[in-house]
Homo-oligomer: A and B are copies of this chain.
Amino acid sequence: MKTALIGAGNVATHIALALYGSGVDIVQVYSRDIAHSAAIAHKVGALPIDDMAKIDDSIDVFLFAVKDDAITELLKRAGKKDVLMIHTAGSVSMDVFKEYTGNYGALYPLQTFSKSKAVNFAEIPVFIEASNDEAERQIEELARKLSPEIHFVNSEQRKKIHLAAVFACNFTNFLYDISAEIVAEAGLPFDVLKPLIAETADKIKTLSPREAQTGPAVRGDKQTMNAHLELLKERPDLQRLYTELSDGIKLGIGTPSSVF
């Protein structure tokens, strides 16, 4: 399958390198900025392009790894094609492709990709969905070049997985950012928090998060919580966040609950 990679950001870069390493034939790489497409194309033996209309007729697969709202614009420019179209987004319905091809789907790798940090795709769950059996077979084949862990899900499931990932990754990282600022304020390097952060993430490999919960909120230690709110008195936004999260811990722990 001759593949065109559409996109040149973090996700596109990591996927391109992993597919190339598994022998997938990436023929062209698109970015609206030719310098960006060239940067990836150079690494995977592909041709850089900066216009969707330049995608070669020999291409079998369009693999989109771009911002969610860019997909539609790029499809308009490319037009209808008798190819397999796949996107890699968590929250975009696969039906975004419906007007452009009969064979389409999604291939969503559940991971956080930063430019300067390599990831091991073999440990990443990949969620796939397809418009028909043949498309599913082809998407699964491509997905297996990335990871042995494939899950077949529908668009609604994929959106929920993406939402869960925002809490488990993006919001968690923001809490790290806040904690980094607080230790800096105490005159200490962020390094002092790293063993704690590592252990917090490690614990949930063997305990459920509910079982692993520690701290003043789950203990009901109001004295400490009030002292913390006092420390944050110049930052009403962080006070609100502290209260919201502590209330959630108090309500959530030990009671059956459902998100939806």
Could you list which residues of chain A lie within 8 angstroms of chain B, going by C-beta atoms? 10, 67-69, 90-91, 110-114, 116-117, 119, 123-125, 151, 153, 156-157, 159-188, 190, 192-219, 221, 223-224, 227-228, 231-232, 234-235, 237-238, 240-242, 244-245, 247-249, 251-252, 257-260
Instruction: Provide the bound-state CA to CA distance between A63 and B213, in Å.
Output: 24
A205–B196 CA distance with the chains assembled, in angstroms: 12
Interface pair B249/A192, CB less than 8 Å apart: no
Known: A111-B196, A163-B228, A234-B260. 5 other contacts (CB 8 A): A117-B203, A164-B178, A166-B242, A167-B179, A241-B248
Contact of B231 with A159 in the complex, beta carbons under 8 Å: yes
A112 touching B203 by the CB < 8 A rule? yes
The 9 A-B residue pairs with the shortest CB-CB distance in the complex, in nearest-first order:
A170-B215, A201-B201, A168-B179, A160-B186, A177-B209, A164-B182, A176-B209, A164-B179, A181-B259
A171 to B177 CA separation, bound complex (whole angstroms): 13
Q: A170 contacts which of B90, B173, B249 (Cβ < 8 Å)?
A: B249
- List 30 A–B pairs whose Cβ atoms lie within 8 Å, in order of A's numbering: A90-B224, A91-B223, A112-B200, A112-B214, A114-B211, A116-B207, A117-B212, A123-B195, A159-B227, A160-B183, A160-B185, A165-B193, A167-B175, A168-B179, A168-B193, A169-B214, A172-B172, A174-B213, A174-B245, A174-B249, A176-B212, A178-B252, A184-B259, A190-B209, A201-B201, A235-B259, A235-B260, A237-B251, A241-B241, A241-B248
Q: Evaluate contact between B185 and A259: CB separation under 8 angstroms.
A: yes
**Would you call A172 and B197 a contact (CB within 8 A)?**
yes
Closest CB in chain B relative to A248 CB, distance in Å:
6
Q: Which one of B168, B194, B260 contacts A196 once the chains associate, using CB atoms below 8 Å?
A: B168
Are A157 and B187 in contact, with the CB atoms below 8 A? yes
A194: chain B residues at CB < 8 Å are: 204-205
| Partner pick for A244 among B215, B228, B237, CB 8 A cutoff | B237
Bound together, the chains give a CA A231 to CA B160 distance in angstroms of 8
- Max chain B C-beta neighbours (<10 A), residue from A112, A153, A162: A112
This chain: how many copies in the complex? 2
Q: What chain B residues lie within 8 Å of A205 (beta carbons)?
A: 194, 198
Q: How far is the CA of A235 from the CA of B203 in the complex (A)?
A: 27
Residues of B within 8 A of A185 (CB): 160, 258-260
Verify A192–B114 contact, CB threshold 8 A. Answer: no
Chain B: minimal CB distance from A179 (Å):
4
